[in-house]
Chain A
Amino acid sequence: MARDALTGSRIRERRAMGGLKQSDLARQVGISASYLNLIEHNRRRIGGKLLLDIASVLNVEPTALSEGAEAALIASLQEAAQRARLDESESDRAEEFAGRFPGWADALAAAHRRIADLERTVETLSDRLAHDPELAASVHEVLSTAASIRSTASILAEDKTITDDWRDRFHANIDADSRRLADSSKALVGFLDAETGEAAPSSSPQEEVAQFLAAHGFGFAALEAGEADIKAVVTDAPDLGSAQSKLLAHTVLARLVQDSESVAMADLQTALAEVGPDVIALAARFSVGVPLMMRRLAAVPGIEAGLVVADRAGSLLFRKDVEGFTIPRHGAACPLWPLFQVMGQPGQVIRSRVEMPTRDGAVFDCLAAAEPVGPMALNVPPLLEATMLVLPVPDDATRGNPVVEQVGPACHICPRSGCPGRREPSILSDGFGDF
């Protein structure tokens, strides 16, 4: 049936939704109830002034009656019908369904699209897991070790004539394999934990340092007070298993101690109580650079503030998480962060209010600044380092403020669609509909 031929069905549906009797509507638009009945059963065509009058009484746009649901909605419903293997006669009634039950039709079409998106996402994740070399290696190790244990244990259990030499050898093999199985199982769990964003064993020196700093709450009072030695702290840290991570941690702590010589924690806390977390004012008060003041603020015990430091290549050199502002563990971060905007304007401080795509749309004030680092040399461009302080904004402070930049954590874990900064599909979006 043609779409405009269903105008009557839509009038009937809208009238019923509004609780209006057929006779009342007919009277209000100046026609007989029997004629309206013919119209509502699509036995009389309708247009012109009468359609406008009926639309006015029903308080809807005339096109909602004459054109019905959008083509995309009809297409989604027909697709849903095909997926459900409904008869063609049923599928052909999609528009009639949409016209009579617009709310249900929208819900069904949305559910169908959501299912399709989720199916694509599951396929993609399955594909990633199937081809992930780390996961494949872990699973192979677990299964191979289990095979060895099962085979050897069966021999010991079933063969009563086995010699002492063989028995001892198999006992030793089972002992070794059981320990190996425990290790490989832990590695597998660690991998899966990392995939779900939970705590996982460190996979790189940078990760080890991040865990080490988090374990200390990013505070090292004894070092700042000169009561402890950086080398001893690093050497004794159980989180720092590799020489590379120890070296990186040493560099981070050396900078922390150096910063504390310019801005002592006790003095900073006094100033904070007087002027609040105003980075510019605090930097001026202590006569230090803004990036240094950001680092000091992020180190204040109990303050809810995140910190990210990156080099010009976009590598994250330091990160301190704050709830709701996800800083990616691997790969590049969101290119829309103010952290990267300041790379082209060293010395300028940018303040930007941003929203993360969390369920409740967490909002943060980000302050970012870039500065040259390392030794200066003639005709050699300086190395740049950008620092960004991330301060959560209370809900009541964000109401009615339209100037909020939409950012994300990193493309591969960002659900935003239509983002100009997107570099790769996300595993969290509604499938990969944008692509």
Chain B
Amino acid sequence: MGKHVLLVEDEVNIIEAMQFLLSREGWQVDTHSDGATAVGKVRDMRPDLVVLDYMLPGKNGIDILTELRADPEFERLPILMLTARGQSRDRDQAERAGVSRFMTKPFSNTEVITAVRDLVQLAQ
């Protein structure tokens, strides 16, 4: 079994494409679409990496990120943020909150896969 990725995203078709891509690369992929319960999902599943959307129903990606980083157990968890909010202040905000990598939509599949590989390797 490969590494475990949790994809927190509310766009159904992006979920399908990402799920296909990551599975094809040998990852075990779980998905979650609700921001309000995303932190609990991470605590339950303990993934090797989280791909996190910024704008989610219930709670936004920055708040989720901040909450996870406040927990010593997830202090070093690789978190890749994929977002349509690509302004510099959004990036700054995400970096201050402790994001591992920040990528803007629309993204290239190759870049996402490469980022996921790099982040997991760095965490090992």
Interface residues of A (CB under 8 A from B): 130, 139-140, 143-144, 146-152, 154-155, 158-159, 166, 169-170, 173, 176-177
Question: Which of A139, A149, A173 makes the CB contact (< 8 A) with B16?
Answer: A173
How many residue pairs at the A-B interface have CB separations less than 8 Å? 59
Interface residues on B, range: 20 to 34
Given known pairs A130-B87, A139-B84, the reply for A147 and B105 (CB within 8 Å) is yes
Alpha-carbon distance between A158 and B108 when the two chains are bound, in angstroms: 12
Contact A150 B108 (CB under 8 A): yes
Residues of B within 8 Å of A147, CB to CB, are: 11, 14, 82, 84, 105-107
Q: List 23 A-B contacts (CB under 8 A).
A: A139-B84, A143-B84, A143-B86, A143-B106, A144-B11, A144-B14, A144-B84, A144-B105, A147-B105, A147-B107, A148-B14, A151-B14, A151-B107, A152-B13, A154-B108, A154-B109, A155-B20, A155-B109, A158-B109, A170-B17, A173-B17, A176-B13, A177-B13
Question: Which residues of A lie under 8 Å from residue B86 when comparing CB positions?
Answer: 143
Closest to B16 in A: A173
A226 to B11, CA, bound (A): 53
A residues within 8 A CB of B55? 140
- When chains A and B are docked, how far (Å) is the Cα of A159 from the Cα of B21? 10
Complex CA distance for A130 and B90, rounded to whole angstroms = 11
Q: Which of B96-116 contact A (CB under 8 A)?
A: 104-109
- Lowest 9 CB-CB distances: which A-B pairs, in order? A147-B105, A143-B84, A147-B106, A151-B17, A148-B13, A173-B13, A150-B106, A146-B106, A140-B84
Chain B residues in 8 Å Cβ range of A151: 14, 17-18, 21, 106-107, 109
A166 to B2, CA, bound (A): 21
| CA gap between A146 and B107 in the complex, in Å | 9
Binding site for A on B (CB under 8 A): 11, 13-14, 16-18, 20-21, 24, 55, 82, 84-87, 104-109
Known: A143-B105, A169-B16, A173-B17. 19 other contacts (CB 8 A): A139-B84, A140-B85, A143-B84, A143-B106, A144-B11, A144-B84, A147-B14, A147-B107, A150-B106, A150-B108, A151-B17, A151-B18, A151-B21, A152-B13, A152-B16, A152-B17, A154-B108, A159-B24, A170-B20
User: Within 8 Å CB of B20, what residues of A?
Assistant: 155, 166, 170
Question: Are A155 and B105 in contact, CB atoms less than 8 angstroms apart?
Answer: no
Cα of A130 to Cα of B86 in the assembled complex, Å: 12
| Distance A326 CA – B85 CA, assembled complex (angstroms) | 36
Q: How far is the CA of A148 from the CA of B53 in the complex (A)?
A: 13
Complex Cα distance, B17 from A159, in Å, reads 12
A89 to B51, CA, bound (A): 58
Task: Please give, as numbers and ranges, the residues of chain B lying within 8 Å of A143 by CB-CB distance.
Answer: 84, 86, 104-106
Whether B84 pairs with A148 at a CB distance below 8 angstroms is no
Chain A residues, CB < 8 A from B108:
150, 154
B104: nearest chain-A partner, CB-CB: A143
A314 CA to B11 CA, complexed, in Å: 43
* CB of A239, distance to nearest CB on chain B (Å): 32
Name the B residues within 8 Å of A159 (CB-CB).
Answer: 24
Q: How far is the CB of A177 from chain B (nearest CB, A)?
A: 6
Of all chain B residues, which has the CB nearest A140?
A: B84
Q: Shortest distance in angstroms between B15's beta carbon and chain A's nearest beta carbon? A: 9
Cα-based distance from A150 to B109 in the complex (angstroms): 8
Distance of A176 Cα from B13 Cα, bound (Å): 9
Cα A158 to Cα B20 with chains together (Å): 13
Chain B residues within an 8 Å CB radius of A146: 105-106
Cα distance, A177 to B12, chains bound together (Å): 10
In the complex, which residues of chain A have a beta carbon less than 8 angstroms from the beta carbon of B18?
A: 151
By a CB distance below 8 angstroms, the chain B residues around A152 are 13, 16-17
Residues on A with C-beta less than 8 A from B107 are: 147, 150-151
Smallest distance from the beta carbon of B19 to chain A beta carbons, Å? 10
Complex interface: chain B residues within 8 A of A158 (CB)? 109
Q: Which of A147, A150, A170 has the most CB of B within 10 A?
A: A147
- Which chain B residue shows the least CB distance to A158? B109
Complex Cα–Cα for A149 and B86 (A): 18
Q: Give A34 to B81 CA distance when docked, in angstroms.
A: 80
Name the distance in Å between B25's Cβ and chain A's nearest Cβ.
12
Docked CA distance A148–B20 (Å):
12
B106–chain A nearest beta-carbon distance, Å: 4
User: By CB atoms of chain A within 10 A, which of B14, B17, B106, B109 has the most?
Assistant: B17
Is the Cβ of B21 less than 8 Å from the Cβ of A155?
A: yes
Contacts of A139 in B (CB 8 A): 84
Q: State A169–B11 Cα separation when bound (angstroms).
A: 15
A146 to B82, CA, bound (A): 13
Given the complex of chains A and B, what is the CA–CA distance between A176 and B84 in angstroms?
19
Q: How far is the CA of A150 from the CA of B105 in the complex (A)?
A: 10
